[in-house]
Chains A and B, each alone.
Chain A
Amino acid sequence: MARSIDFQSILAKLRHFYRDAKRAPTFSEMKTLFGYRSKGGVSVLIPHLVQRGIFRKDAGGRLSPGKLLEGKIRLLGSVQAGFPSPAEEELTDTLSLDEFLIRKPAASYLVKVTGDSMTGAGIFPGDLVIVERGREAAHGDIVVAQVDGQWTMKFFEKHKGQVVLRAANPKYPLIRPQNELVIGGVVVANVRKYH
């Protein structure tokens, strides 16, 4: 039986690598990436990857990311012969809900909302917000912050160069941090599950 190569999963791994490292992987990195036992296996694969536009080979034989790896054209799946199936074409460039909601997996946390200070922005008690740590807050972001020892979730705004925290609920006054303000993270998504 001829061995078929799962180009889709290989491309997904390469894209992931390229997204993080911004360069083409070395042979030994590809060996690890694809779970091969030797670099020889990788070298057999390379011409196929070049042919498919995943890599480009320059005059000196060096590899650089091809059009497919840079994400400029759609991958048409790993079809042996004939026309690509439309279903595969549609599905190769999709995001999972995870990837859609979470941009930086290592820095993202769930916070269960208890207060009502952001109801005007559509965040209600019981909601689950995804908070990204270590991201710089910009004007208009919803942030989780510690003000004078108390944790709170508010709009982060700059009024004439001064940072203020504004609730999306008229019940709560504007907070102008007096002593200490720690931005814990930026709210990047809100998840509300009904069933």
Chain B
Amino acid sequence: MSASTINFFPASILHVDCDAFFSSVEQALRPELKGRPVVTGRERGIVACASYEAKALGVKRPMRIFEARKVCRDLVCLPSDYETYSLYSRRMFEILRRFTPAVEEYSIDEAFADLSGLRRLHRTGYAGIAWKIKEQVRQELALTVSAGLAASKILSKMASKEKKPDGFTVFRTSQLDRILDRMDLERVCGFGPNTVALLRKNGVRFVRDYTLRPEAWARGLLGKTGAELWHELRGESVYAVETAPKDDYASISKCKTFTPPSGDRDFVRAQLLRNLESAFIKLRRHGLRARSLTVFLRDREFETVGLEAAWDRSTASTVEAAGLAASLFDRIFRPGFDYRLTGVVLSKLESDRTVQYGLFDDVPRLESLRAVDRVIDSANAVYGKHALHLGTGLWIARHRQHLTERGDLPSRKTELLKGETFRQRLNVPVWQIKV
């Protein structure tokens, strides 16, 4: 890229990051919590998200809830209500899409939006569009977001971290020299602790030191990613905003904690198989099949053991995988140990569109397994996820998922509206005000 083009904003990428997302949603729906220290994650006993008020008093993530309560006596500890957070997340992306179709849903509370070429449409500069987005989110969701605007994704993400909460920072390409001059290497997402240590050894102290080296040097030291970051940090966009919904998963994993830890074989196995069911539902929703299955268990001491097995042909069948998962489970489950988490990982994924049967495959049986999956998916579409499940799932009812204290379920799941069930609720957030 020639030097002249980088002076007038070659690309304009906005990174939007919600401030203390989970606790801010709670505060938006329960006005009495505004201005109070709030944390979510009570059902796990670990702070998942702390509001700015709680952070100011010294509560950090991932503190244990009882430690957080010691630090801050009036702390409001709420169970996570992921369903409502997801509704808010979807709404935030919807607001962004009103401004540009090029939106990448980066995580539940973060997005990249490519604003290039939209100035005329919105009759304002890139910064003006960013302010409009912030204002719409504030009006409609009562949330604040921090935004960063720059010529590349990496820079825009660094910019949005510059000022939080409710901040907006522009990294102009023409001013990058000044901005990156004294900036610590840890600020670059993509530079982990090991990379930073390696760079320091090579005499790189600040981000600008890195961008001043030749590209070949960056590639030599850190490989392809290093060279990509080198360009991104110089304001030359390499990473595109990926608008397509993620369908090319390298792997799909599902894991869940339960408290207190349990040594009950049937219960732990049921937990594992429930994760397997969830993973296969996701697998089929994305039109994929898996060739490899990993199961793992984590015990009370956070020691994790896992085992991987592969099929000679890919599968999308829950029933077919359940037998394999159960036998892997039997080989890693140790009686006398208490487990707190189970998980499964499906990998070596391929598209469901091309199915290659093996010579010795029992095709009628495989076809009937497919039919079973179709029944499972369509029944669950009507009656809610896991309404139709494997028989082993019944053991889950032996213990509740989280048994520490009362109030571990979000109020949205306990105070149902007329016509709602525990499995299916209205897809509109409930604003908890007394009128």
Contact = CB atoms under 8 A, between A and B. Distances in A.
A107 interface: yes
B98 interface: yes
Interface in B325-364: none
Nearest to A33: B101
B429 A110 contact: yes
A153 interface: yes
B276 to A, nearest CB: 29
Interface string A115-133: 1010000000000101101
B256 interface: no
Given A32-B243, A32-B244, A151-B31, A109 B101 contact: no
A75 interface: no
Interface stretch (B47-55, B135-143, B167-175, B386-394): B135-143
A111 B419 contact: no
Given A111-B433, A114-B434, A193 B139 contact: no
Interface residues of A, number: 31
A78 interface: no
Contact of A106 (B29, B91, B244, B418): B91
Interface string A13-25: 0000000100001
A77 interface: no
A113 B31 CA distance: 16
B244 A144 contact: no
Given A106-B91, A106-B95, A110-B428, A133 B433 contact: no
Q: How large is the interface on B (under 10, 10 to 19, 20 to 34, 35 or more residues)?
A: 20 to 34
Contacts of B426: 110
Contact of A151 (B419, B428, B433): B433
B433 A144 contact: yes
B94 A110 contact: no
A139 interface: no
B51 to A, nearest CB: 20
A152 interface: yes
A152 B435 contact: yes
A102 B426 CA distance: 13
A184 B139 CA distance: 9
Contacts of B8: none
B419 A193 contact: yes
Contact of B430 (A111, A134, A195): A111
A49 B253 CA distance: 42
A144 to B, nearest CB: 6
A25 B430 CA distance: 34
A29 B118 CA distance: 14
B33 interface: no
Interface string A86-114: 00000000000000001011111111111
Given A32-B101, A106-B141, A146 B431 contact: no
Interface in A1-41: 20, 25, 29, 32
Contacts of B142: 133
B139 A131 contact: no
Interface in B94-112: 94-95, 97-98, 101
B120 to A, nearest CB: 12
Interface string A173-193: 000000000001000000001
Contacts of B94: 105-106
Interface string A137-177: 00000001010000111000000000000000000000000
Contacts of A32: 101, 243-244
Nearest to B94: A106
B435 A106 contact: no
B417 interface: yes
A151 B435 contact: yes
A74 to B, nearest CB: 28
Given A104-B140, A109-B429, A110-B426, A29 B101 contact: yes
A114 B428 contact: no
Given A106-B95, A106-B140, A106-B141, A131 B431 contact: yes
Interface in B135-156: 136, 139-142
B199 to A, nearest CB: 38
A193 B136 CA distance: 32
Given A106-B141, A134-B139, A146 B428 contact: no
B428 A115 contact: no
A106 to B, nearest CB: 4
Nearest to B418: A193
A195 B418 CA distance: 8
16 contacts: A106-B94, A107-B141, A110-B428, A111-B430, A111-B435, A112-B430, A113-B435, A114-B434, A114-B435, A115-B434, A130-B428, A131-B431, A133-B139, A134-B136, A144-B435, A184-B431
Interface of B: 29, 31, 91, 94-95, 97-98, 101, 136, 139-142, 243-244, 417-419, 426, 428-431, 433-435
Given A130-B428, A195-B419, 18 more contacts: A32-B101, A32-B244, A106-B91, A106-B95, A107-B139, A107-B140, A109-B429, A109-B431, A110-B417, A110-B426, A110-B431, A111-B431, A112-B417, A115-B434, A115-B435, A151-B433, A151-B434, A184-B431
Give the 6 A-B residue pairs with the shortest CB-CB distance, closest first: A134-B139, A107-B140, A153-B435, A109-B431, A106-B91, A151-B433
Interface of A: 20, 25, 29, 32, 102, 104-115, 117, 128, 130-131, 133-134, 144, 146, 151-153, 184, 193, 195
